[in-house]
Amino acid sequence: MSAPLTIDARGHRCPVPILRLRKALAGAPAAGRAVLLATDPMARIDAPYLMQELGGRVVDIAEADGVLTIIVERPVAPTG
């Protein structure tokens, strides 16, 4: 498995962190993981909504020193 894609949105307010995550995931391969770094507490709420919309999931949300680390996983692309 390759290293997860990291999106650094520290210092940006809503909706920028989630918009950056959405854009990064749009260009990433299916079934990959991404790590969002954000200082806006709304990212804790917005990321699960985005992943539900995209058919993915939030793997983990952790906070240290005011920085949220949100790990998300995209689903495998449908075949057929």
Q: Which residues are catalytic?
A: 14
Question: 33: which residues sit within 8 A by CB, 6+ positions away?
Answer: 1, 4, 5, 59, 71, 72, 73, 74
CB 44 within 8 A of CB 72: no
CA–CA dist 54, 18 (Å, integer):
12
